[in-house]
Amino acid sequence: MSFQAKTFTASAALSLADADAPLVVSAAAGLTLTLPAASGSGTSYEIVIGTTVTSNSVIVRVANSSDTIRGIAITAQDGGDTAVAFEAGATADTITMNGSTTGGLLGDRIILKDIAANLWSVNVIMAATGTEASPFSATV
């Protein structure tokens, strides 16, 4: 496995070759990254926003309708020295960063770990503008 950062400028399906190294998203117009099926392998992906999203969204989603994402997103609020946290619900399978209310600003980070069959653990550390909202949804 390579530990050198890899830059994404277009949508892609992630593979083991992408694991355990920083994955930098440099796509102001957004893109979609699809995770491999969760199997409990312990594989980790760290996705860093390298260019603020200005249109569309950066979307990270699971590979199939059986997989889910569980964890939290901690969001720095732009109105002061405060933060808000969002929990991924039991059916969450997608993370959407829109460049505003759900993150997607330069430096935001998503850390995912394949912890069990059909289950990804996630920690999102992000900033947001406007009325902050959860980046988690069920769309797959």
Q: Which residue has the tokens 């994955």?
A: 23
Which residues have a Cβ under 8 Å from the Cβ of 30 and sit 6 or more positions away? 53, 55, 56, 57, 58, 59, 99, 104
Q: What is the pLDDT of residue 51?
A: 97
Q: What is the pLDDT of residue 138?
A: 98
Cα atoms found within 13 Å of the Cα of residue 32, Cβ hemisphere only: 8
Q: Which of 137, 29, 30, 41 is nearest to 89 (CA)?
A: 137
Predicted TM-score (pTM) of this structure: 0.95
Q: What is the pLDDT of residue 79?
A: 74
Q: What is the pLDDT along the chain (140 residues), one digit of tens a residue?
A: 457 899 999 999 999 999 989 999 999 999 999 999 999 999 999 999 999 999 999 999 999 999 999 999 999 988 778 899 999 999 999 999 999 999 999 999 999 999 999 999 999 999 999 899 999 999 99
Q: In angstroms, rounded to a whole number, what is the distance separating the alpha carbons of residues 98 and 127? A: 11
Q: What is the pLDDT of residue 24?
A: 98
Q: What is the pLDDT of residue 78?
A: 82
Q: What is the pLDDT of residue 81?
A: 81
